[in-house]
Structure 1
Amino acid sequence: MSEHPIELSTRMIDTGVVDTPSNRVTEELSELADGVAIVESFSHVVAVRTDDGLVAFDSSGSGSGAQVVEALRRWDDDPVHSIVYTHGHLDHVGGSAAFAADAEDRGRPRPRVVGHERILDRFERYELTSGYNRMINMRQFGGAARSARRLDERPFLPDATLRPDVTYEDHRTETIGGVEIEMHHCEGETDDHTWSYLPGFDMISAGDQFIWNFPNCGNPQKVQRYPVEWAESLRAMAAKGAELFVPAHGLPIAGRDRIRTCLETVATTLEDLVADVIEAMNAGAVLDEILHTVTVPDEALDLPYLQPLYDEPEFVVRNIWRLYGGWYDGNPARLKPAPDATVGAEVVDLAGGIDRVIERARATSTAGDHRLACHLIEFAVAADPSSPAVHEARRAIYAARRGGETSLMAKGIFKSAEADSTTVIDGEAPPLRMIRDLGD
C-alpha cells in the first residue's frame, strides 16, 4: 500500500518538498474519514456512505471504471445511489458504464446521475467533433502521429456513458440518505463544472478546479477556459472553511488553514496573470509581446500544487488573450495569411535552397534556441513536405525541444511532430496538414 494520500499531501504542502508524484494512478482505495473514501485513478472517484447507499463523485474513465468499482466494492457493498458528475470530461464520466454494469450484475437499479445542465451540450459537441477530439487527445497524452490517429474510428464519447438524469442551472441542494449535498456551478477548466460541499462531512469535492498542477486554463487544443471565474470558485470554496478538500486529480488536503492557503494562492496567481495580460493589452501590446514578457513568479511555480507539469502559464496567457481580445494576434500579415507552403517556398528560395535552411535549423537547435529552430524547420517542411532529409532534421529538432519542456501538453505536441516526421522517413505519406499544403 502506498503512502496515505492525506499524509503525503500534508508533508508536501508543509515542507514544499516534492519527492514523489502528487497525481497517482494506483487504483487503490483510501479511507479519508469515517464514511468517506477515495480511489486514486487517472481521475479519482470520491465516495461517501449514506443511509440510501453510496454517492460517488465522478466515475473515472472508461478504461479505469471497472477497477474503480472493484476497489469500492472491497470497501462497501451497498448500492451506488447516485453519481455526481463534477463536469463532462471523459476521464470523469466514461467509467459510469462500469457502475451501471455493476448494478445490473447485482440486480439493482443503475445509479442516478446528477450534473450541471451544460454537460448535455458538451456531450452533443463531443458527438459532433468525435474525430477531432480523438486526434487531439492522442496527441496530448501520447504524442501519436496523425496517421495513427486516423485509424481509430471509435466514438470519442462511449455510447454506454450515462447521461445525467437530473440537471441544475446555478446551484442545487439535496439530501440523500441523511447526507446533505450542496452543488455549486462554476466555470474554470470547463463551463459545466460542479463543486460540492457536504456539511455533514465538512468536505468539498472540487473536481478539476484544483489539480495539483498549474491550472489547466490554457490548453492549446481545447475550447475556452475561464480564469477569472476559476479564481472566484476557489475563493468560494475557501470561504466554506472545510476540514477536508478532495480534488479529482492530485491529493486530498486536510486542515482548514492549509486548504484555505492553497486555494487562495492559486486564485491569486490566476488573478494576477489575468491582470498583467489585460494591463499589457490596454497599453497596446500585441500577443507576441505579451507572450514573452508576462510571466508567473518562479516562487509560485515551485509550490507543490502549482508546478507547470500539465498546462503552463504561457498557454494560459494565450487563452486570456483569446477571451478578451479575440483571435487576431496583432500582426496584420497573419490576419489573412498566405498558405504555409507559399511562405515556406519563398523563405527557402531566399535562403539559397532547402539544404541551407536545414543546416541553419540544426545549428540553431544545437545552440539551444529551439523556438527559432522550429520556425526554420517548419519553413522547410512547408516547402517540401515529402523530403526525408527535412524530416530527419525536424524529428531531431523536436526531440531536443521536447527534452527541455515541463508541461505534458507541450511534450505531447512536440512528440507528435516527431512521430509525423517518422512516418515520412519510413516511406509513408505526409500527414494530412502537409498534404493539404502541397496544393493541387
Structure 2
Amino acid sequence: MIKLNENVYVAVGYDGSNASMVIGEQGVVIIDALRALGAAEKVAEEFRKVSNKPVQALIYTHGHLDHTGGTSAFIGNSKDVKVIAREGFKNELQEHSPIEPILKQRNARQFGRDLPAKDIINRGVAPGITSTDRAGKGYIEPNITFKDSMLVTLAGLDFELHAADGETNDELFVWIPDLETLFTGDNYYKSFPNLYAIRGSQYRDVKSWGESIRKMSTYPVEHLVPGHTRPLSGKSVVHQNLSNYSSAILSVYTQTIEAMNKGYTLQQTVDSVSLSDSLAEQPNLQEFYGSVPWGIRSIYLHYVGWFDGNPTNLYPLSSSQEAKNIIELAGGESKVFAELNRATKEGNYQWGLQLADYLLQTDYERTKVIEAKVRLLRALASQQINAPARNYYLSYAYELEKNRI
C-alpha cells in the first residue's frame, strides 16, 4: 500500500494490476478494480483502514479484465455510486471475438498461466503468480460514459478524464489538478510498451498511443500512477519518463512508416528499425513486456495487410512443400537433423527451431525432433528478458511434451 500524499493511496502487488483510492472531503473515488474479486476484497479492506468515507465513484481506465474484475468489493451493490468509463468500453475484448477459443489459449501461454511454479518469474509488469479467487466475478458495468473528455467533481475534488487511445481503444487518463496526480491506465508502465500482444489483439493505435503520452507529459505532474508497476513522484522524474516513453513509441512508428514508403518488405522493415542508444538505455524502456520488433510488425500489417509487396509471396508454397524442397536441397532428412543438433550444440537456437519445424512437416524421427524442439524452446526462454516471450516458449514446450499440439 503506497501513500503518495494525504489523498492518494495505491495498492501494488495484490493482483496483476494496481488499484487506487483518492480521498476527498465528501468521500473516496476508486480508480481501477483489479482482476480477482478475492484480491479486490483484501485491497478494499486495506483502503477502509485508511478512510471509512463512502465510495462515491469508481473509474475504469480501460476494459481489460485485470482492471475491472473486482468492482463489487469496493462499491457493493450500491446503485448510487458513479461507475465511469469511455464510450465503447470493452468492445474490443476477446469475449466478443469469433476466435475466442484460440485467443484464450494464446492468452494462457503469454502469461504462463499453466506453467509450474518453478518456471514462473513474472509477467513483465506484474507478479508471475496472481490471485485466481473469483476472477472477474465482481465486474459491474459503467453507468456513466463519455466520448472525448469529461470534467466532473467527485467527492469534492475536480477530476479531468480524457480519452487516450493506446494499449486499448477505450483507454482514458485521469488528471486531478489540485493533487497534481495523473493516472495513466495501461498507456504507461515501467517497460517498453506492449504495442502488440502476442496473445492476439486488435490493432493498438501506435501513433495515438505516443501522442496520448506526449499530451500527458505537458501536465505539471507530481505523482504518476500507472496501471502496472510502482508510482513515480517528482515533476522532473515524471516528465522525463513520459517524454522518453512518447519519443520511443513515436520513433518506432515514424521509422516503420518511412521504411514502408521505401518499399521495404516486412522483415526488411523489422531489420531496419531500432531505438536510439539514448532511448534504449532508459530503465523504463527495457523490453520486459513489449518488444520493438512486435510493434513494427503490427504497424506494418495494420497499414498494408499480409502482402509485403514482394510478388514471390503472392502464392507461396505450402509449408509442407517448402519443407520438402528445403530438406531435399540440404541432402535429406538425416542431414537436416544433424544440422539441427549442431545448431543446438552451438547455441544457434532460432535456426535450430526453424529446422525442427521443417522436419515436423515429415514423419522423420518425429519423437526426437519434438524433443529437440522442446530443448530449443527452453534454451530460447532462458535467454529472454521479455516475459511474454519467455512464458510463450515455456508454455509451448510443456504442451509439446504433453502431446497437446
Q: Which residue of structure 1 aligns with residue 48 of structure 2?
A: 73
**In the alignment, structure 1 residue 119 sits paired with structure 2 residue 119:** no
How far apart are the structure 2 equivalents of 1:418 and 1:179? 52
1:418 corresponds, among 381, 397, 402, to 397
Deviations 1:264-311 (A, max 9, x none): 111111222222112211111111112122111344233221110111
Task: Evaluate the alpha carbon distance shift between residue 168 and residue 368 of structure 1 in structure 2; reply closer, same or farther with a 3 A threshold.
Answer: same
Q: How does 1:119-138 map to 2 (within 5 A)?
A: 119-122=89-92, 125-126=95-96, 129-138=99-108
Q: Distance in 2 between matches of 1:197 and 1:411?
A: 35
**What 5-or-longer segments of structure 1 have no aligned partner?**
1-28, 146-153, 425-429, 432-440
Summarize the alignment of residues 365-376 of structure 1 with structure 2, pairs less than 5 Å apart. Answer: 365-376=344-355
Whether contact under 8 Å (1:218, 1:313) holds in the other structure is no
Task: Name the count of aligned residue pairs.
Answer: 384
Query: Which residue of 1 is the match for residue 238 of structure 2?
Result: 259
Q: Provide the residue aligned with 2:189 in structure 1.
A: 211
> Could you tell me which of 67, 70, 77 is aligned with 1:95?
70
d(CA) in 2 for partners of 1:254, 1:242? 8
Helix, strand or coil for the counterpart of 1:121?
Answer: coil
Compute the TM-score of the two structures, normalised by the length of structure 1: 0.81
Do structure 1's residue 186 and structure 2's residue 164 form an aligned pair?
A: yes
In the alignment, the residues of structure 1 paired with residue 93 and residue 272 of structure 2 have an alpha-carbon distance, to the nearest angstrom, of: 38
SS in 2 for 1:418: helix
Q: Which residue of 261, 267, 278 maps to 1:288?
A: 267
Matched, 1:34 2:12: no
Q: 1:31-430, aligned counterparts within 5 Å?
A: 31-41=3-13, 42-62=16-36, 64-100=39-75, 103-104=76-77, 108-109=78-79, 111-122=81-92, 125-126=95-96, 129-142=99-112, 144=114, 158=136, 160-220=138-198, 221-384=200-363, 387-424=366-403, 430=404
* Preserved CA contact (<8 Å) 2:192 2:289: yes
Tell me by how many angstroms 1:217 deviates. 0.8
Match of 1:180, SS state, is: strand
Q: For residues 360 and 216 of structure 1, what CA distance do their matches in structure 2 show?
A: 35
Using the TM superposition, give the Cα deviation of residue 157 of structure 1 relative to its aligned residue in structure 2, in angstroms. 8.6
CA separation of 1:144/1:358 partners in 2, compared to 1, >3 Å: closer, same or farther? farther
Secondary structure, aligned partner of 1:405 = coil
| In structure 2, distance between residues paired with 1:67 and 1:32 | 20
CA pair 407-332 structure 1, distance change in 2 beyond 3 A? farther
**Could you tell me which amino acid in structure 2 is paired with residue 40 of structure 1?**
V
The offset of 1:133, in angstroms, is 3.2
Percent identity between matched residues is 26
> What SS does the aligned partner of 1:33 have?
coil
In structure 2, C-alpha distance between the alignment counterparts of 1:386 and 1:180, rounded to whole Å: 68
Deviates more, 1:283-292 or 1:378-387: 378-387
Q: Is the 8 A contact 2:35 2:135 kept in 1?
A: no
Aligned equivalents of 2:275 and 2:94: distance in 1?
36
In structure 2, the CA distance between the partners of 1:270 and 1:46, relative to structure 1 (3 Å rule), is same
Distance change in 2, residues 1:307/1:371 (3 Å):
same
Residues 17-44 of structure 1 deviation map (CA, whole Å, 9 limit, x = unaligned):
xxxxxxxxxxxx1211111100003200
Q: 1 CA distance for matches of 2:221 and 2:25? A: 23
Shift of the alpha carbon at 1:171?
0.6
Q: CA 1:334–1:95 in 2, change beyond 3 Å: closer, same or farther?
A: farther
Q: Deviations over 1:173-207 (max 9, x none)?
A: 11112111110001111111000111121111111
For residues 295 and 105 of structure 2, the distance between their equivalents in structure 1, rounded to whole angstroms, comes to: 22
User: Secondary structure of 2:106's match?
Assistant: helix
SS in 2 for 1:68: helix
Cα offset for 1:345? 3.9
- Structure 1 residue 127: deviation in Å? 6.5
- Judge conservation of contact 1:143–1:414 (CA < 8 Å) in 2: no
1:253 CA displacement: 1.5
Per the alignment, residue 8 of structure 1 pairs with: none
Q: CA deviation at 1:112?
A: 2.9
Conserved in 2, the CA contact under 8 Å of 1:144 and 1:419? no
1:143-171 deviation line (CA, Å, top 9, x unaligned): 749xxxxxxxx9x9946521111111111
- Offset of residue 254 of structure 1: 1.5
TM-score scaled by structure 2? 0.87
Contact kept in structure 2, 1:36 and 1:49, CA below 8 Å: yes
Q: Could you list the runs of 5+ residues in structure 2 that have no partner in the other structure?
A: 116-131
